Amino acid sequence: MTSKFLRSVLATAVLSMILGLTTSAFAQTGGAAPAGAASAPATGATTTPMATGTGTKLGTINIQEAVIGSNEGQRDFGALSKKLEPKQNELKAQNDELQSLQEQLQKQGDKLNEDARATLVKQIETKKKSFDRAVQDAQEDAQNQQKEIFQRILQKMAPVIVKHAQEGGFAMVLDTSNPWPQSPLLWASEGVDITRSVVEIYNTQSGVPAPAPAGGAAKPAAPKPAVPKPATPTPNAPPK
């Protein structure tokens, strides 16, 4: 339950990076960036990256799924998740301590004398400030490392996307990582999606083997690092 907070934060961070990273990667490989991309907002929520060619077909690709779902993406994001586990456990322990102190205040607050209650409230406030700073630092560190992995893989995958689109006779390829209305694409048939074929080509080219199944089940296609949700004690609230 506590790990859902940062998972959602990191997922949002990945989505917000897609516009800038994809535009940069396509520019480096000769693909055309969308008009006005230079002035697009940092969130990347209003413009869909695209590559244009001389063909006649329209194609789509989910850049997020392609990068994170590739063998290399699964391997590297999985390794990052493992790397961040000690920090996750450390923050969980701090979170549990805060919750325990908050429960103590709520259950015993009316039985404590003024000095004892003030000391407990101060202890909770101090620990919460320290915990909040630790969570923020952990989030920033995880996001920076995830961004580095995402950009590194995307820069290598971009030429594969462009070549596949050109050879397939596509005039345009739209990124569907962000759903409408965050992107201009309202609807597209699954038949025009090239995500899976691009991933298969990239996997072959990269030479990275598919992750081994864990416990007989296939490994998730999009592993994401996580840390526990910050506790939200309210030490100044009247005791129950």
Residues 136-179: pLDDT tens digits? 999 999 999 999 999 999 999 999 999 999 999 999 999 999 98
Q: Is residue 4 predicted with pLDDT exceeding 60?
A: no
- pLDDT value of position 110: 81
- pLDDT value of position 95: 95
Q: What is the DSSP letter of 142?
A: H
Q: Is residue 38 predicted with pLDDT exceeding 50?
A: no
* pTM more than 0.75: no
Half-sphere exposure of 134 (CA within 13 A, CB side): 20
- pLDDT value of position 108: 86
Q: Is residue 55 predicted with pLDDT exceeding 90?
A: no
- pLDDT value of position 218: 44
Residues 109-123: pLDDT tens digits? 788 888 988 999 999
- pLDDT value of position 225: 43
Q: Is residue 35 predicted with pLDDT exceeding 90?
A: no
CA distances from 42 to 35, 156, 159, 198 (A): 16, 23, 24, 27
Strand 57-61: give its sheet, edge to edge: 50-52, 170-175, 57-61
Q: Is 93 left (phi over 0), alpha (psi -120 to 50) or beta?
A: alpha
Contact 20, 44 (CB under 8 A): yes
Sign of CA dihedral 183, 189, 195, 198: negative
Q: Is residue 7 predicted with pLDDT exceeding 50?
A: no
Among 68-72, 101-105, 108-112, which range has the highest average pLDDT? 68-72
Question: What distance in Å separates the CA atoms of residue 66 and residue 57, rounded to the nearest whole number?
Answer: 20
The domain limits of the chain are 4-34+49-206
Buried b (16+ CB within 10 A) or exposed e, 143-174: bebbbebbbebbebbbbbbbebbbeeebebbb
Average pLDDT over the chain, rounded to whole? 76
